[in-house]
Structure 1
């Protein structure tokens, strides 16, 4: 059987799948620079640190993921991951290292003089879609080849790589084992709900340094006027449909949700990935009532007018609807979103599939893993723990007093460290308000950093227990074939069988 390690986001394919993936990457990069794509939250004062090259003696890679780093001497690795007696060089492969990662390398090396970290990457900054596509494809292809050959870097960025397939082939270290062996690592200092639900078959193979939330922003004032009570911690999509019908009957708004059938399918599939794909056993489960029910549920909402495709925006009075789907990628995202609907916005957890338990959705970000073939696993883990912990805060960018911090407002995503997040929230409380950058798309916009809103948001962060699956070739198949059902060309059952066959072939390549 031919080994297949196709990229998780479908980078070998031209067209929609790649474009969507590139859009996400550009969004992540621009978030660090203070820009938000689509109808997202405007950029905020204090952002833009990600444009500083920062870092120290960090190499730009050629795009070729190196073989295991050659270390002078034996490295002197000690039991329990203590300081090595000899020099150790860790090779860390990534696509586009942020200024913060470069700065963190510099600080770590100053604290651990026997350890050198070599960053290899393909591009220093975003130039255009074509060059980014080529660099991403080069990174994925060369990393896959190196990992299958038993080589590859000591550490690798996994956001764009097939983590599940690497784990199934025992190519990655189970980080749960590293945590247990590290007496200095206290899981209580981290968002354990994210770590626990990022596992694959009981093992944690990719450490998320940050994460996002998927949720709904609702017009709480308009909803309250209807007299309806919403239990968003437990509601399913069936509950949502029933509530939506009542909202249109009792309220003034006739549209409940702004979205599109294709977008909702993409979102629901990612949010419910374990229901349809068992990576461990390489089995697909699309030919099932759960999947056909999801297809029919989406189409029915649009056929009945409950959901409607309308241009979305963020800002006061910009949308005449009860809800809109939104990814929340930072505290700034959250606070600006709360100013929509004329200041009457409320965050709701997204409804879940009837087959899943209650809880919100998160998407892991900046995931890092350790090559199982690395001779310096303990030292590699120490660097990951450093990146994840508040210890990595206050990282000098260029030997000056200026610094980056994972608890800083400019940090993209919510830090996996709860200690860092608490500092971030405290920064907002002390600031009192948040303003957009001058000359931006929302020049002069200011919102209040309300303490009660910040307290409520903490509950949503800890209540997110469903991991949103990565964009993958499987997702592309679902999107491509699902369109024929939405256009009335095929039945839900026929589409499900077709997807089942195609995904089975892919999983067993």
Structure 2
């Protein structure tokens, strides 16, 4: 029977009704002569010190931090090199993204990885390197990255307890502190929790096999189990969550489990063939589960209301182990082992983690600073109530639905406390090798469109990934 469903042709649009400096491009003037130097935080550097930094994209957050830090420490020059310029075309409107494929373009990441790799190997890399898209373990093994603990341990003004240490630990995985996340986003699954209860499942430990079986058991006419995502992108999403099962380490070598991958690929195809999944855009009322990226305190408060009372924010299916809520970071900072200005580099990174910068309106993701998160949630509540202020200007939030109608959200202290209480449960670092994920997306598309068999795709992919990982 053909499923009839109302297609959701437009995403929900958030209008920030204020002329926000952070949304108009350029550097913010706020903070000039207004940033105070915390006690005990003066870097031990000589006049004329230059700290270089390489990132994929220099956003407004980094531009503002650069300006404010140099005002506090005139003797230090921060030079940030970006490989791909930021997109500032959004103006003062933010579209809330649905689905899971919201990261940087693969070709941009490949360009960045190639550039940084060449610089590291030649000894010409920057002092600070954004490493969220890099093979950190490889670089650590070759002695190319330094442990931030060596600098942080000497800094009496830095207290890890002021931050979400579970985010730090999730990135470092207990093997030194080679990457400092400045912010993060959450990978979640909004869904009908009662469906899990019917099958005695809990979102902390459910697996993708159980998820597929659940959709089959709870199929309803006119409603999809999951929507708005192509099969190859859903497979990529699955691969991210079971990455450790698909890529198995044996000493220094890594092997790709083609057989396990093929099983996941065939299960996903069965969802689309059976009418349980679709790539078409659907509204929350037409889907049982929705994979989403919650990238900010604002989204954490608003998305539950947009998804509706029947949906609960869940952890996505995974390996069957309680690994914590999965998270990603678009800014993880590594320290060049050959840097001659490690202390000054640490001072700038510490400033990025400060309550002042983490509370900045240029911070577009979840802050790792606990106090800054509380401020961000309170600010969102004020804007929803129409009494918020940004840079001395009044601001408010309006939601526009699929038909252009205004949605009036409400936020109370209980909603804020729920978000804060969720933070300690975050723990599974979901940033994986984007080149591997790109291969998975590329190769599997040939299977989903009928050009290759599952066996042929799995074998081809295993050869490509094994060659890449062990070169």
TM-score by length of 1: 0.72
Counterparts of 1:246 and 1:295, CA distance in 2: 20
Residue equivalent to 2:68? 107
2:265 to 295, 309, 330: 295
Unaligned runs of 5+ in 2: 1-8, 30-40, 90-104, 386-395
Residue equivalent to 1:351? 317
SS of 1:385 mapped into structure 2 = helix
2:418 to 456, 477, 480: 456
Residue equivalent to 1:310? 280
Tell me the CA shift for residue 177 of structure 1.
3.5
Tell me the CA shift for residue 282 of structure 1.
5.7
Tell me the CA shift for residue 211 of structure 1.
0.7
Correspondence 1:54 to 2:27: yes
Residue equivalent to 2:224? 255
Residue equivalent to 2:116? 143
SS of 2:215 mapped into structure 1 = helix
SS of 2:436 mapped into structure 1 = helix
Residue equivalent to 2:353? 388
Counterparts of 2:106 and 2:196, CA distance in 1: 49
Residue equivalent to 1:193? 166
Correspondence 1:44 to 2:10: no
Deviations 1:88-109 (A, max 9, x none): 2112223432233222222222
**Shift in CA distance, 277/438, structure 1 to aligned 2, threshold 3 Å:** closer
Correspondence 1:89 to 2:50: yes
SS of 2:14 mapped into structure 1 = coil
1:367 to 325, 332, 344: 332
Counterparts of 1:227 and 1:489, CA distance in 2: 38
Correspondence 1:204 to 2:143: no
Residue equivalent to 1:507? 469
Contact 1:235 1:358 in 2 (8 A): no
1:98 to 36, 47, 59: 59
Spell out the pairing of 1:403-442 with structure 2 (5 A cutoff).
Answer: 406-408=358-360, 411-433=363-385, 435-436=397-398
Deviations 1:350-377 (A, max 9, x none): 11124x4442211112222221111111
Deviations 1:67-108 (A, max 9, x none): xxxxxxxxxxxxx98533544211222343223322222222
Counterparts of 1:503 and 1:124, CA distance in 2: 30
Counterparts of 2:317 and 2:266, CA distance in 1: 16
Contact 1:282 1:504 in 2 (8 A): no
Correspondence 1:329 to 2:295: yes
Contact 1:168 1:280 in 2 (8 A): no
Tell me the CA shift for residue 229 of structure 1.
6.4
Counterparts of 1:113 and 1:54, CA distance in 2: 17
1:479 to 438, 441, 447: 441
Superposed CA RMSD in Å reads: 3.7
Contact 2:296 2:365 in 1 (8 A): yes
**Shift in CA distance, 135/477, structure 1 to aligned 2, threshold 3 Å:** closer
SS of 1:335 mapped into structure 2 = helix
Residue equivalent to 1:338? 304
Tell me the CA shift for residue 200 of structure 1.
6.1
Structure with higher RCO (Cα < 8 A, 6+ apart) = 2
Residue equivalent to 1:245? 216
SS of 1:231 mapped into structure 2 = coil
Tell me the CA shift for residue 326 of structure 1.
0.9
Contact 2:12 2:399 in 1 (8 A): no
Counterparts of 2:400 and 2:290, CA distance in 1: 27
**Shift in CA distance, 40/459, structure 1 to aligned 2, threshold 3 Å:** farther
SS of 2:313 mapped into structure 1 = strand
Counterparts of 1:184 and 1:199, CA distance in 2: 22
Counterparts of 1:438 and 1:311, CA distance in 2: 17
Moved more, 443-452 or 430-439: 430-439
Unaligned runs of 5+ in 1: 1-36, 57-79, 394-405
Residue equivalent to 1:266? 236
Counterparts of 1:343 and 1:416, CA distance in 2: 29
Counterparts of 1:253 and 1:451, CA distance in 2: 36
TM-score by length of 2: 0.78
Counterparts of 1:484 and 1:95, CA distance in 2: 30
Tell me the CA shift for residue 162 of structure 1.
4.2
Contact 2:301 2:411 in 1 (8 A): yes
